[in-house]
Amino acid sequence: LRTCWLNGTYIAEEQAHVSIFDRGLLFGDGVYEVAAVFNGQLLDADRHLVRLARSQREIGLPAAYDAATLMGVMQELATRNGIQEGLVYLQVTRGAAERDFPFPAQVHPTVFAYARPKKLSDDPNAAGVRVHAVPDLRWQRCDIKSTSMLAQVLAKQAAREAGAFEALMHEDGLVTEGGSSNIWIVRDGIAYTRPTSHDILAGITRDVIFDVADDAGVTVVQRAFTLEQALAADECLMTSATSFVLPITRIDDHVVGSGAPGPLTQRLREGYLARAARLTA
Ligand code: PLP
């Protein structure tokens, strides 16, 4: 039986219920985080909690628990559920109240977390994945890790129907990001990724890769690139907390580079894995 945590209490997932009036359900009025568990320990949970606090600030939702408490909860869920490799999901909504768009007078946030196992070190997708290019239909504050994600649901469903692992979203000809990942290309030995702005989520993995790349002697340039540049790239890759670094070997029916995981992508994945192992040793 799996244990989750809801508003301060550890309970069986089957017993965890929220109101039909929860604003997370009614409006998607909430924010969330997903952190990896590696060697039974949280990875970069501190950074994820900093981003959660920022997301909450940006939507005017005060913290109900401090970061140390949430960190303890996330680790406890990994431990209680016997997770060696996997993830912890944490969500905060503006709670239940009579349905009305503006904030309620009294906010009682709904805060919950759960854990799941997932293969991270030995991910079969490390052999290379296909992505499906779709227009980015999202709103103008994609820097907020919001639970309002209908555009990503539709993008990732379209990707699945196209036989792809992830959606590659683009707007005004430029690649924004993946459905739930940041996208990178490699051209002539240099790795490019879009600069942070309101147009994309500032991925924690993306941020960590700057250090990993530095250690691996890989030059990174933060510059937006077009879909055509992605198609013509030597390598293409995606990063996220629960996929680490994955080679993108196909964009729809187009083969990227040699069609095999590229050497820089492999160096970044190995560097990321080595760092994860070091931090959780
Ligand atoms: N971009 C989007 C839209 C995401 O949803 C995610 C993660 O879920 C990412 C990027 C990657 O962010 P991180 O590396 O923090 O997981």
**Which CATH number is 107's domain given?**
3.30.470.10
**Confidence band of 174 (pLDDT split at 50, 70, 90):** very high
Q: Of 117, 132, 165, which residue is a domain's last?
A: 117
Q: Of 101, 117, 133, which residue is a domain's last?
A: 117
d(CA 49, CA 224): 27
Centroid of ligand 1 to alpha carbon of 103 (angstroms): 27
Same domain, 152 and 251: yes
Q: What is the dihedral of CA 223, 226, 228, 233, to 10 degrees?
A: 20
Centroid of ligand 1 to alpha carbon of 106 (angstroms): 31
* Under 8 Å between Cβ of 187 and 152: no
Same domain, 272 and 220: yes
* pLDDT tens sequence across 123-157: 999 999 999 999 999 999 999 999 999 999 999 99
Count H helices and E strands in the chain, helices first: 7, 15
Which domain covers residue 70, as residue numbers?
A: 3-117
pLDDT value at residue 218: 97
pLDDT value at residue 219: 98
* pLDDT tens sequence across 206-243: 999 999 999 999 999 999 999 999 999 999 999 999 99
Strand 41-42 with 219-222, pairing: unpaired
Same domain, 58 and 148: no
Q: Of 66, 95, 117, which residue is a domain's last?
A: 117
Same domain, 181 and 94: no
Q: What is the mean pLDDT of the chain?
A: 98
pLDDT at 23 over 90: yes
* Under 8 Å between Cβ of 243 and 124: no
Centroid of ligand 1 to alpha carbon of 259 (angstroms): 25
**Confidence band of 18 (pLDDT split at 50, 70, 90):** very high
Centroid of ligand 1 to alpha carbon of 98 (angstroms): 32
Single pTM value for the model: 0.98
The token pair that represents 107 in the structure block: 């906010």
Same domain, 111 and 133: no
Counting residues of the chain whose pLDDT is more than 90, the rounded percentage is: 100
Same domain, 48 and 170: no
Same domain, 268 and 132: yes
Which residue from 35, 68, 54, 85 is spatially nearest to 208, judged by alpha carbons? 35
Same domain, 76 and 135: no
CATH number of the domain that residue 163 is part of: 3.20.10.10
**Confidence band of 1 (pLDDT split at 50, 70, 90):** confident
d(CA 80, CA 3): 7
**Confidence band of 97 (pLDDT split at 50, 70, 90):** very high
* pLDDT tens sequence across 53-87: 999 999 999 999 999 999 999 999 999 999 999 99
Nearest CA to ligand 1 atom 2: 180
Break the chain down into helix, strand, coil percent, rounded to 5: 30, 30, 40
Same domain, 81 and 163: no
* Under 8 Å between Cβ of 192 and 184: yes
d(CA 65, CA 61): 12
pLDDT at 116 over 90: yes
| For ligand 1, mutation pick of 180, 198, 200, 206 (most atoms within 8 Å of CB) | 180
d(CA 266, CA 244): 11
pLDDT at 89 over 90: yes
Nearest CA to ligand 1 atom 12: 203
pLDDT value at residue 98: 98
43: left (phi over 0), alpha (psi -120 to 50) or beta: beta
Residues touching ligand 1 (Cβ under 6 Å) are 34, 177, 180-182, 201, 203-206, 239-241
Ligand 1 atom at minimal distance to the Cα of residue 179: 3
**Confidence band of 9 (pLDDT split at 50, 70, 90):** very high
* Under 8 Å between Cβ of 42 and 71: yes
- The ipTM value here is 0.98
Mean pLDDT within 252-258:
98
Number of domains forming the structure of the chain = 2
Nearest CA to ligand 1 atom 3: 180
Same domain, 153 and 246: yes
Same domain, 103 and 12: yes
Judging by beta carbons within 10 Å of its beta carbon (0-12, 13-18, 19+), is residue 153 exposed, middle or buried? exposed
Chain length of the chain: 281
Same domain, 141 and 209: yes
Which residues form the catalytic set?
Answer: 145
Counting residues of the chain whose pLDDT is more than 70, the rounded percentage is: 100
* pLDDT tens sequence across 188-209: 999 999 999 999 999 999 999 9
